Structure formats: structure tokens, C-alpha cells
Structure 1
């Protein structure tokens, strides 16, 4: 749809038009089409801070931290950065694991440009420190904030606690989040996952009981893929699709090929108190795997595959997507709630840091 609108714009001679071109960059960026976003950006006669923010955000969400640093240097030659552009810059550093660069940008923003940080900047810094494993430093940063931390700040911190399995201070973050957003299921699930990874199944059961008592339901993971202008949606273990038989047959073949290359399912991502074999069976049928296989059997060899997911991609599906990209010789783009993952020839653009 975005491409059709772009062609219409070109056909009607609407360009150059700053607002339209900025919207096109944003459209391609949010579809994970970095090359097309960059082409629009490079062909612009005029650029404003929105143009730069959009292209920086596009590269940042795909894990291209070094590219963001270079773009920002180029931007400063013609545009004075504002508070908004520093959000995708700090976020890009966080997603790429560029801890020192992110800290330098924060100093640049506050000291040189005299920009007063907003909550979104603080959230980016907490995320930057937390992802880099500096969980206690992130906690200290929150404590020193001049503003009251909001849901986004504590949410970023709890995610870091989950990734780095730090239960000591995760409970405080969870407690704050349950006060700020008592009905958001994701935070209960994050805390449950922290307990599950530690094998503390009593606490996991307790969290589930609290959710049930408060009428909070876990958001089911769904993956979408577009084919011939129709969106196909898959749930984990889904067999409702008309092509389910072919999808599962092809998935079995791919899993066999993956295991030949040394693939071992990451059963830690199946966080139920069940046997490893059952965990493996659960992981195999995660929604993104079904969506990827559906796209493979319904498109020509070499066709790019795009998947959108409503939750963070799990570690096992991340490994699987890398292997499938190599086996099937396909570029696979997965957009989860945090970022884009560009899988190609067995590698991901995030560098396994997400």
C-alpha cells in the first residue's frame, strides 16, 4: 500500500513536498524497508529535523547504531538538534549496545545543547544501562531522576531485570508498575518470567493467581504476514489456517535441517514447569515460525519475507529465524514490539543484542 501511494505521488508530481517525503520515510521505516526509506531521504531537495529524526529512527530500530552515529554527525552540519531527535539517537545506542556513545550523546544533549531531559530521555538511559547489564547503575539513575519515574521508565528497568535475571530489585520495579498500570498484563508476565527462569515455580503460580483474581489475561502472541493484499494471522500452535497441513509438514522438514546444523531448542523460553521434550514441542509451533513457513511455501524463491509480531521475539525463534534465512536463502524481516530484526544468511542485524 505504501509503495502504491509513493508511485501515485511520483506520477502526480507532488514531490518535492517536505511533509509528504517525511511521511514516506516514516512509512518505509516502519515497514523495515531501510533501503527505500534511505532512497527517499537521499532524493529530498530540502530536509528538516523531522526528516533526520525519521531516518535516524529507522536505522536505530534495525540495530544500525554505527550508522546512526554517522548520520547524527552529518545532521549537525546543517540542523540544530532538538529534544525529539535525541530520543531515537539514545534508543539506537541502547539497541546496538553502544553504552559509551549513548552516555556521550546524553551529555551532549544536556551540556552543549542545554536541553532539559524529558521522561522519554530518562527511559532511554535506563534502557541503555539495563540492556548493557548495568542493572544497579540503571536503578541508581532512576533514584536520581528529577522527575517522578513513569510506567515507561520502570518498564524498561523490569525488562532489564528479566534479561539479566536480577531478582533483587525486580520486585520493586514490578511493585511500582502494578501501582502505575495495574491492568497491563505484560508486567505480570515479565515478573513471572523472572521467577520461571530461576525455577521458582511457586512464585510463578502466585503471579498467575493474582492475574486471575484481578481478571487480567495474558496477551496471546500473534504473528502477521501479508500476502496478495491479505493479512494472515497466526497464533502459537495454530491449526485453523486452511494451509495448516502444508505449513506443519514444511516446518518439520525445516526443523530437521536446522538440527543437522546443530540447532538445539532453547527450552528456557518455554517457561512452564514441564518436561524439556514438551517445552521443545511448544517452541516449535511459536507463531512467528508458522508465519515464516507460510510465507516460504506461498512465495517465489528469494522473495523477502516480512513478519510483524505483537510481543518481543523469543530467543529460540530468533535462533530459528537465523537458521531458516540461511537454509531457505531468504531475507526475513521480523518487527516485534521493540525493534526490527533483519535475518539474512544466518545472521541478524541486531547482532543477537535485543
Structure 2
């Protein structure tokens, strides 16, 4: 036997002796090994050279002689099929390794299952999985992951139960995958307990997945507990907890954790920076976002990160930075284009938004659902009724996009802003969707602008039928009555609010100066610089009165004397923030103010005149859009 083995080359030995060419005729191979070993060697060489046609031909020869190569070679060939999209050749491999009653190794069957899944042949993969004589943790995890990724969470959870019943213990990859299939906190907590029993809770991927899913279900307390239970951290875990707080609109805590992460010695990667940029976006922290931009440059070609940067600049009202970032992008997807289109529209550049939409189409990029929302938003905020109708009516025909609630909402907004209230109510009644409270609230806002009390009452009643405790509907209706001097009706609305325990949200404005946020509430005098702010405000009012400013008391919605109304207007929160910004920021920097409510007409006029008299750029963002005031004009062209 020893002399016989000496006559076999090392390469031949690796193919023949393990397990002797997988042949049922061992004696035949020993007597004449050279032709068979050459066939296997050729097949193996072609596999590793990724020469798919020659490898398949060589495999046919193996089939004719009833022999098989080693599983590693087949695995290499399967990967080659996946890379080449060669479905039929992959099926030939499947038939070959199971031919003549041959039973391939489990890991090779796992590779075939993965191949079918990569090709989207889900039924073939399931059939092969069901027929497996032995299934290991990789087999189960592959199928569970597939069900999870296909949004078939219930089936993924059932597979996990069957897996355990068969005596196969889930590992960290199984749990990381199945966690995403959880249908609620109860299931999540049961899985969490199971992981602890198996000692897997310290695994980085399991901890990260747990934090992600707790955050998804809004349970940040348990997510943070998972993060804090272990003394040692990993960048993946840091990214999960920071992203979790961003996902739940707690940007402040996300940024605090980011600072802790840096102090702990971890370097931010693309995932970290994407979350931090989104936190800056939510908090409208432009200066911090600019600092993060310096780190983004290290990952110049990361599309997701660049899209987050673009979104931050758009939503922080810095169009110059946004356009610069957009032009520098080496790659753009539909999200990039849609973000820039919406950003232009929200910043008062509706015509430019529509021009960019045409450029997008010319580039060959197909618009999606969100793109058309941005286009219709641009039309509604510029009064482009005909353009809006064209895009709405052609979206299905030209782009195969079914109009959704957001598109219908934009059209109601477009018609309402343009004063076409009869057309707006007709459009609502003809919509394919039952109008929701957002639709009726949009119409109610338009009724306020155009002083249509009758339709306003109708819209308000529809809102309160859907959401009886919607304080916004009560406030808008009260304001409409006040604008019409119907003070008895105003009092009735306020009594109804008191009965339900509803309160009007006060107007608030805030401004970032020297990395600190300063907040102002209408009529509030708690700011440490309030006396100086009041003096500055008096100076500004006197100066613009000299050029014709008269306080518009129509925006004081109380039955007060003229002097009292003017005094009330003086201390609107955005005016306080403007005065503070002028006092405390460098002249070359724009004054950037955020506001929780729609800016009133008097404050809008005030900001225009101050921008001209003080030669300062002022940017005010309300819940819907940005107003850029410069040299006495506003980017909205007084259409908002």
C-alpha cells in the first residue's frame, strides 16, 4: 500500500485519497489513476481560474465517468456562477453533485441553497432545504435570514422554533437575523432571554441587533441597558446606540453619545457619521454639521453618507453648501436628486427645483414616489397650478408611479394656496383615498389665508371627527373667527378647548450662537439678556418705522385695544430671536432662526425691513419651509 501511495503525485493524492475520488470503483482507480486524476485536476484548475465554460465541460466528463471532485472545487464553481449570473450552469452543478445517488457534503448543499437565493429562486432553495438529510446551523440561519429579509417575519420565527426542536442550537448570526423578524416587544424580550441562556448576549453582533430592534420598537431604555451592561464596547455597538437615539428623534442624546465614543478612543466610520449628520439635521445644527463634513471627506465615495450630508445642508437652510455638496458627488442615486429637488423647493427656489427635475430626467435617472412629492411641493409653494396639474396627471403615465396620499395632499395645498378653494374641496371629494386629518388641516389653513369662514368650519368639523383632541384644528378655527371679528365664536371655541383640557402651543423660536441654543417664547422675559434685547428691539422698530413700517395688528388674535395689540406684536418670539442674533453674531454671518409655528405676516414684514436696514441676511425656518430674507425681499416672494 505504501509503494502504491508513493506513485501518486501530491495533487492527485489530494483529489483521490479524500475520499478516494468519491468513486464506487476504488480498485479501478488504483489500477489506472492517471486519466481520472487528470480529469479532476483539470476541473479543479478551471474552477480556480474561474473559467466557467471549461469547468462545466470538465464536469460533464466527471459525470460520464461517475466520479466527483472535492467539495471545495464545486463551491468555487458555484461562486463563479453567482458572480456571472449563470443560473443554468448552477442547476447543472446541482444535478451533477446529486447524480447516481451521491450525497454531497452539507456545506456544499448550503452553497447551492445560497446560490438559488442569490438568483431569486426562492422555491428551489426551499425545496433543496426541505430535502437535506442533515441541516446544520448555517442551513437554518440562511433560510431564516431569507425570510427575515423578505419581510416574512412570522415564518422566520417558526423556522427558529423548528431549528431548536431538531436539536440545532442557534448561534450569534441566527439571533442577529431573527431579531429583525420580531413582531413586537413581547417576542423581542423572549428572544433576548433565550440569548442570555445561551451566553450570546455579549456578542457584538447580537448586542448591536438587540439595540437596533429595541430602538425600532421605541424602547430606548432597554436598548440603552443592553449597551450599558457590558464594560467593553465595539464601534458596531456604538453605532447602533447612536443610530437608535437618532431614529427616535433624540438628537441631543445621540450627540452626547458621539462625544463619549470619541473620548473612549473610537474613530467614527461611515455609519457613525451618517447618524450624527441626521442628528444635526433634526436639531438644525448647521455649524456642527459643517464640522462633521470635515470627517466625511475621508469617505468621499460613500453614497449613503453623502446623501445624509446633502440632506443636512438642505434642511438646515444652507443652499450654497447643499449645491456645492451635490455638484461634488461622484455618484448620485434617486435619493440624491430627490433630496436636492425638495431642498430647493423648501428654500424658496421652486423654479430651480423644477429645472433640476428636468436635468434628472435628462441624466437617465428615473423619478420615484418621493421625487414627485418634491416636484409637487415646489409647484404648491410657488403657485404653479398648471405645472402642478401636469405633473400630477402624468406621473402614472410617464413614470409608472401611482399617486399616493402625499401627492394628493400636495395638490390640495397647491389649490388652497392659490385660492381655488372650490376646486380644492371638489378634488378632496374625488380623491381615491378617504381624506385624512392632514388633508383637511391643509384645507383649513388655506381657508384661514383666504378668509373663507364657511368652508373653514366644514374642514374643522371633519378634522375633529377624525381626531377629537386635535388642538391645531381648534386654534386655526379660533384664528379664522378672530380675523373675522367674530369674538363670540372665538370664545365658544376656547370653551370647547377648556372642556377637553387642550391648550394652545405657544410660539417658540430658537437660535444657535457660539454653539449654544437660545430659545424664546412669545412674551417671555426670562432670558438673561432680555433688557438689552428689548432695547435692541425698540431701536429696530423705530428705525423701520422711519421707512414706513406699521405694525399689522390683524395678526393679534385677541379682542384688545390698538396699543395693546402693537405691544403684543413687539414680543413675538421670532422678533426677540432676531434682535438677539443681531446683537451676538458676526455681521458677515446669516442670522438663522428656527420656529415651531408658521411665521405671522407682521413678523415676515419686520424681517424683510430689518434685513434691508441692517444689511443682514436672515433665515427663518417654520415647520414647512425656509424664508431667506435679504435686502428687503424674501425667497418666498410673499407667497407662503
Q: Give the alignment's TM-score, normalised by structure 1.
A: 0.98
1-structure distance, mates of 2:510, 2:467: 27
Which residue in 1 is equivalent to 2:630? 344
User: Alignment partner for residue 343 of structure 2, among 21, 37, 58?
Assistant: 58
Which residue in 2 is equivalent to 1:177? 463
1-structure distance, mates of 2:385, 2:442: 15
Deviation at 1:264, TM superposition (A): 0.7
User: Alignment partner for residue 451 of structure 2, among 165, 169, 173?
Assistant: 165
Give CA deviations for 1:109-166 in whole Å, capped at 9, x if unaligned. Answer: 1332232111111100000000000011000000001110111111111101110011
Residue 311 (1) aligns with residue 597 (2): yes
Q: Give unpaired runs (5+ residues) of structure 2.
A: 1-287
**Superposed counterparts of 1:4-23, under 5 Å:** 4-10=291-297, 13-23=298-308
2-structure distance, mates of 1:282, 1:51: 44
1-structure distance, mates of 2:354, 2:401: 19
Q: Does the residue aligned with 2:485 lie in a helix, a strand or coil?
A: coil
Which residue in 2 is equivalent to 1:320? 606
2-structure distance, mates of 1:172, 1:110: 32
Which residue in 1 is equivalent to 2:582? 296
1-structure distance, mates of 2:589, 2:346: 22
**Superposed counterparts of 1:180-259, under 5 Å:** 180-259=466-545
User: Alignment partner for residue 37 of structure 1, among 299, 315, 322?
Assistant: 322
Residue 73 (1) aligns with residue 376 (2): no
Higher helix proportion, which one? 2
Residue 27 (1) aligns with residue 312 (2): yes
Residue 266 (1) aligns with residue 552 (2): yes
Residue 110 (1) aligns with residue 381 (2): no
2-structure distance, mates of 1:317, 1:323: 10
2-structure distance, mates of 1:265, 1:189: 22
Q: Give unpaired runs (5+ residues) of structure 1.
A: none
Residue 282 (1) aligns with residue 573 (2): no
Q: Does the residue aligned with 2:370 lie in a helix, a strand or coil?
A: coil
Q: Does the residue aligned with 1:175 lie in a helix, a strand or coil?
A: helix
Question: Is contact 1:226–1:232 with CA below 8 Å preserved after alignment?
Answer: yes
2-structure distance, mates of 1:84, 1:9: 25
Which residue in 2 is equivalent to 1:47? 332
Deviation at 1:267, TM superposition (A): 0.5
Deviation at 1:230, TM superposition (A): 0.8
1-structure distance, mates of 2:453, 2:586: 47
Deviation at 1:229, TM superposition (A): 1.1
2-structure distance, mates of 1:294, 1:144: 49
2-structure distance, mates of 1:231, 1:181: 34
1-structure distance, mates of 2:519, 2:342: 27
Which residue in 2 is equivalent to 1:130? 416
Deviation at 1:183, TM superposition (A): 2.1
Question: Is contact 1:65–1:98 with CA below 8 Å preserved after alignment?
Answer: no
2-structure distance, mates of 1:104, 1:133: 19
Give CA deviations for 1:326-352 in whole Å, capped at 9, x if unaligned. Answer: 111110000001110000010000000
> Alignment length, in residue pairs?
352
Q: Does the residue aligned with 2:373 lie in a helix, a strand or coil?
A: helix
1-structure distance, mates of 2:468, 2:600: 25
Give CA deviations for 1:69-96 in whole Å, capped at 9, x if unaligned. Answer: 1000000122111111111110111111
Deviation at 1:180, TM superposition (A): 1.8
2-structure distance, mates of 1:311, 1:295: 19
Deviation at 1:31, TM superposition (A): 0.5
Which residue in 1 is equivalent to 2:290? 3
Deviation at 1:181, TM superposition (A): 2.2
Q: Give the alignment's TM-score, normalised by structure 2.
A: 0.54
2-structure distance, mates of 1:227, 1:59: 25
1-structure distance, mates of 2:586, 2:440: 44
Residue 95 (1) aligns with residue 376 (2): no
Moved over 4 A (4+): none
User: Alignment partner for residue 148 of structure 1, among 426, 434, 439?
Assistant: 434
